[in-house]
Amino acid sequence: MTGNTQTDTAITIRNLVVDYGPRRILNDINLDIPSGQIMVIMGQSGAGKSTLLRCILGLKKPTSGSIHMLGTDIATASQKEIYKARKQIGVAFQGGALFSSMTVGENIELPLREHTNLDEKTIQIMSRIKLDMVNMLDAEHLMVAELSGGMAKRAALARAIIMDPKLLFFDEPSAGLDPSTAAELDQLIITLKISLGMTIVVVTHELDSIFKIADHIAVMKDGNIVETGTPQQISASTNPEIQGLLNRKPRETIVDTDAHLRRLTGGF
């Protein structure tokens, strides 16, 4: 890794391996996530995208390898160092992960209450600014159970950006949303990158979203990164795995008919 690359990259992942017992989930992952751009990590279900995201966030300790983010190697850092790095990131989880015992406003204000000494009025104003950014100003006093799927995701995004993070992570932002709401969210992600200059990492398999928002794409399969590049480079890739993904082809399964029959019948 050259010094030059390190200054241009927000996250540098080297030789990352994750094992769950005997199963290898991530196999020697190497990835550079550039600063101030949107990196989309795509792949089929079970490719290891979410595990990679959990490792970057420090929620899962990798078996080996390194993840340099905000001056810290997340893979080997202490809990205190990880918490220090996390104060500079925002995460919007797939289901929102909003606290159901709080209103939308209280959810968004929580990081400010925990990490700053701002007065009540300032906290409320900052919360409303973020709610306005995601078009949720009217929902400030609603309970989480009263929100639709799209509203919950937007509220989660408002909470993720309340501390003006340097890095923003999305786990499946468009999953389960209607096309119109998904498009709104995509536009919001692009706006955030442009207006706040954030580095954004999106884990998804929604093709429409990917090519709309991505500056760079990393394609994963079976725990490996099979290709990285710009959307144009990925589209033009001749790799059959990538073409299969892009053209929504079902996974090819090579079946040994006899072996399959034995498996179905238990050998009888």
Nearer to another protein, 112 or 217 (CB): 112
Site for another protein in 73-112 (CB under 8 A): 83-84, 86-87, 89-91, 93-95, 97-100, 110-111
User: What DSSP element (H or E) covers 66?
Assistant: strand 64-69
In whole angstroms, how close is the CB of 114 to another protein at the nearest point? 5
59 touches another protein by CB under 8 A: yes
H helix intervals, 90-235: 104-115, 120-133, 149-161, 179-196, 207-213, 231-235
Applying CB under 8 A, among 9, 33, 48, 58 the residue interacting with another protein is 58
Residue among 136, 137, 190 at smallest CA distance from 168: 190
Binding-residue total with another protein (CB under 8 A):
23
57 touches another protein by CB under 8 A: yes
Sign of CA dihedral 193, 228, 33, 152: positive
Nearer to another protein, 95 or 197 (CB): 95
Residue among 33, 19, 22 at smallest CA distance from 198: 33
| Cα–Cα distance, 226 to 179 (Å, whole number) | 28
Applying CB under 8 A, among 114, 119, 120, 252 the residue interacting with another protein is 114
Q: What is the 3-state secondary structure (H, E, C) of 176-201?
A: CCCHHHHHHHHHHHHHHHHHHCCEEE
Applying CB under 8 A, among 115, 260, 262, 263 the residue interacting with another protein is 115
Strands 89-92, 167-171: pairing is parallel
Nearer to another protein, 155 or 189 (CB): 155
Nearer to another protein, 82 or 246 (CB): 82
Residues near another protein, by CB under 8 A: 54, 57-59, 83-84, 86-87, 89-91, 93-95, 97-100, 110-111, 114-115, 159
